[in-house]
Structure 1
Amino acid sequence: MRRLSARFLVEGTAEGLLTVWSTPLSFWGGFDSADGRVIDRSHPAFGTAVAGRILAMPSGRGSSSASSVLAEAVRRGTAPAAILLAMPDPIIAVGAIVARRLYGRTCPVLLCDPADFGQLADGARAEIRSEDGLAVVVLGEGPPPPRA
């Protein structure tokens, strides 16, 4: 297991499989909050479902309305379990903050060092936790074992 330091933009804990993209996504017009899939036909991950996964992407892209789409996805349970970013994105953070405030549901948003971001592997198991007030990303080797 490897541990990466990160900084919380929105605090919380999560665990799941990583979905790693090199291309940013705008939740507004690019993501369907009803089913948790990428609907931007120009995005390389078009059709991919990210519900319950830890989404890693360089940043968000686009409209301030993306906050409302992310908040709605968190409410519906179709959002990523957490979002790791290489660059700060206040629009994504606001969506997660609004979801926590209005719906009492959490989607942690973390800022990762760009060098560490480059080492994230798609499909790897990851856990987001807080240790002494600091964000820690614990990376495992692969998918978690099936639950009995």
Structure 2
Amino acid sequence: MPHLSPITPHLILCPGEAQGQVLALSEPVSFWGGFDPNTGAILENGHPQQGLSLKGKFVLMERGKGSSGTPAGVTESIRIGSGPAGIILLEPDANIATGALVARQLYGLSCPVLVLTAAHFAAASRATTLIFREDRLVVEEAG
């Protein structure tokens, strides 16, 4: 039976509701050039998780990577349904948050972007599934 633990995020950069399997990235990925917004696949050469898809996953990475093109990649992937269900960071990232906020405002689509403390980030990284609603993150761990 799975064990459920609720977490209150340190910061909510983009609100919303989401549920998805955890994909904990060992390195950040660029949403502009290192990621295919049409398929959700990580394209970045040499990335440890190159070829994996972010589609529908709760993606965990310590920080964002990239620059002003990032919001466009995030927004487009959310718009067409190939983006992450949610994104969890250790460090706030304005570009990732902007992309998710634009998708929320223009298309009414939800991809919460959260910042967790190091201890909560580690716990979420070990989870199988994450659920975010009503400003609470529920961590589901295999029993």
Considering the TM-score relative to the shorter chain, is it more than 0.5? Answer: yes
Matches within 5 A, 1:64-143: 64-121=68-125, 124-130=128-134, 135-142=135-142
2:130 counterpart SS class? strand
Deviation, 1:34, is 0.6
Q: TM-score, normalised by structure 2?
A: 0.91
- For structure 1, the 5+ residue unaligned runs are 143-148
- For residues 99 and 24 of structure 1, do their structure 2 counterparts lie closer, same or farther at Cα, with a shift above 3 Å needed? same
Deviation, 1:125, is 1.3
- For structure 2, the 5+ residue unaligned runs are none
- For residues 19 and 122 of structure 1, do their structure 2 counterparts lie closer, same or farther at Cα, with a shift above 3 Å needed? farther
Asked if structure 2 preserves the Cα contact closer than 8 Å seen for 1:19 and 1:122, the reply is no
Matches within 5 A, 1:22-61: 22-61=26-65
Cα RMSD, aligned residues only: 1.3
Aligned counterpart, 1:145: none
Which runs of structure 1 show a deviation greater than 3 angstroms over 4 or more consecutive aligned residues?
none
Counterpart code for 1:84:
I
Counterpart code for 1:140:
E
Q: TM-score, normalised by structure 1?
A: 0.88
Deviation, 1:141, is 2.2
In the comparison of the two structures, how many residue pairs are matched? 138
Counterpart code for 1:35:
T
Asked if structure 1 preserves the Cα contact closer than 8 Å seen for 2:124 and 2:130, the reply is no
Deviation, 1:122, is 5.0
- For residues 80 and 122 of structure 1, do their structure 2 counterparts lie closer, same or farther at Cα, with a shift above 3 Å needed? farther
1:19 counterpart SS class? strand
Aligned counterpart, 1:18: 22
Deviation, 1:33, is 0.6
Identity of aligned residues (%): 37
